[in-house]
């Protein structure tokens, strides 16, 4: 087994336990790998402006954001691929017709209506109060830091996220939008219903990672990608080794090359050790 020359890490469920906790071993492993000369990149569905400060403080060599619509090596932006405005209009019309709550991301921030902000806050507080005895919070770390949807520049939208109290919202979106858009199940820890993410077809973490690898002159076979969500599938396909977290769904684990331990059980550190990055 050759030692990988670069690593790509998802955020929620991989580095962060859905916005609440980072295992100390994860911080140590990332910093040790970089100190040893291995570049480590974020590979997240979040916008750059919505990455938690505690994650940013770890230190990375660059980032794939918005599920692949943006990518940067250091401060150099390699990929900036927002949606066409007519595509954004089609998405918003679909959500309105279907009665589905949604928010839109630019690379700078996340935007939602006042109504949707209240719905998401209620859903997350219900989950927090039921999960491991956590108390409801006014601003849990995992909650998107919303701006008012009325202020968004729709020429800069990179991705949409939606939440629904119905179980079939993701499949309905795939059926009605799949000709143009890439629709995947989301990873928001919400009780009941369903949630998903929508980008343009062909715009994925995998496509952005390939651009970064080409720019750096690194073969995809020398990359590892670690994640726990359905937007990580294309990352697994591009990287020489795709690693699912122990807390990922069984379906996602079946698509990975291997499985590490869970997010708070040293999952990232164990994967790095297995492949000689630390």
For residue 9, what pLDDT is reported? Answer: 98
pLDDT (mean) for 24-42: 98
Q: How far is CA 65 from CA 44, 92, 271, in A?
A: 5, 22, 22
Residue 253 confidence class, pLDDT cut points 50, 70, 90? very high
pLDDT at 46 over 50: yes
Residue 96 confidence class, pLDDT cut points 50, 70, 90? very high
Q: How many Å separate Cα 243 from the centre of its chain?
A: 15
For residue 138, what pLDDT is reported? Answer: 34
* CATH assignment, 85-200: 3.30.1240.10
pLDDT at 91 over 60: yes
pLDDT (mean) for 174-187: 94
Q: How far is CA 136 from CA 28, 124, 127, 128, in A?
A: 30, 8, 8, 6
Burial track 215-231 (b if 16+ CB lie within 10 A, e otherwise): ebeeebeebbbbbbbbb
107 vs 75: CA distance, rounded Å: 14
Pairing of β 40-43 and β 223-227? unpaired
The answer to whether the CB of 197 falls within 8 A of the CB of 183 is yes
Structure tokens, 81: 């691929």
Residue 120 confidence class, pLDDT cut points 50, 70, 90? confident
Instruction: Find the angle CA(205)-CA(119)-CA(147) to the nearest 5 degrees.
Output: 60
Adjacent-strand bridge partners of 226: 9, 243
Which residues, 6+ apart, have CB-to-CB distance to 185 below 8 Å?
Answer: 170, 194, 195, 196, 197, 230
The answer to whether the CB of 111 falls within 8 A of the CB of 66 is no
Structure tokens, 145: 């830091």
Which residues, 6+ apart, have CB-to-CB distance to 92 below 8 Å?
Answer: 102
Q: Per-domain residue ranges for the chain? A: 6-81+203-274, 85-200
For residue 181, what pLDDT is reported? Answer: 98
198 vs 184: CA distance, rounded Å: 7
pLDDT (mean) for 177-204: 87
Give the DSSP letter string of 203-241: -SHHHHHHHHHHHHT--GGGEEEEE-SGGGHHHHHHSSE
Adjacent-strand bridge partners of 244: 227, 259
Residue 122 confidence class, pLDDT cut points 50, 70, 90? confident
Structure tokens, 86: 């007519």
The answer to whether the CB of 242 falls within 8 A of the CB of 225 is yes
For the segment(s) 6-81+203-274, the CATH number from 3.40.50.1000, 3.10.20.30, 3.40.630.10, 3.50.50.60 is 3.40.50.1000
Q: What is the CA radius of gyration of the chain?
A: 18
What is the percent of the chain with per-residue pLDDT over 90, rounded to a whole number? 79
Largest CA distance in the chain: 52
The answer to whether the CB of 31 falls within 8 A of the CB of 277 is no
pLDDT at 8 over 50: yes
For residue 145, what pLDDT is reported? Answer: 76
For residue 75, what pLDDT is reported? Answer: 94
């Amino acid at each position: 087994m050759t030692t990988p020359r670069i690593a790509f890490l998802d955020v929620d469920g991989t580095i962060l336990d859905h916005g609440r906790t980072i295992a100390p071993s994860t911080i140590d492993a990332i910093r040790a790998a970089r100190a040893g000369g291995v570049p480590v990149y974020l590979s997240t569905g979040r916008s750059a402006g919505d990455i938690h400060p505690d994650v940013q403080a770890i230190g990375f060599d660059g980032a794939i954001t918005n599920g692949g619509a943006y990518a940067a090596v250091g401060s150099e932006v390699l990929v900036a691929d927002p949606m066409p405005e007519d595509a954004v209009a089609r998405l918003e019309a679909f959500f309105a017709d279907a009665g589905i709550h949604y928010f839109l991301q630019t690379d700078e921030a996340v935007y939602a209506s006042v109504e949707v902000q209240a719905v998401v806050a209620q859903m997350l507080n219900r989950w927090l109060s039921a999960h491991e005895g956590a108390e409801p919070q006014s601003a849990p770390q995992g909650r998107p830091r919303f701006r008012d949807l009325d202020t968004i520049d729709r020429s800069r939208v990179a991705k949409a996220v939606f939440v629904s109290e119905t179980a079939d919202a993701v499949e309905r979106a795939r059926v009605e939008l799949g000709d143009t858009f890439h629709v995947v199940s989301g990873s928001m820890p919400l009780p009941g219903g369903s949630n998903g993410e929508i980008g343009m077809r062909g715009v994925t973490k995998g496509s952005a990672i390939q651009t970064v690898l080409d720019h750096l002159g690194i073969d995809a076979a020398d990359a590892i990608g670690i994640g726990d969500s359905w937007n990580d599938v294309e990352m697994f396909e591009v990287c020489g080794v795709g690693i699912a977290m122990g807390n990922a769904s069984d379906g996602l684990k079946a698509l990975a090359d291997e499985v590490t331990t869970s997010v708070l059980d040293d999952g990232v550190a164990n994967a790095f050790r297995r492949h000689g990055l630390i």
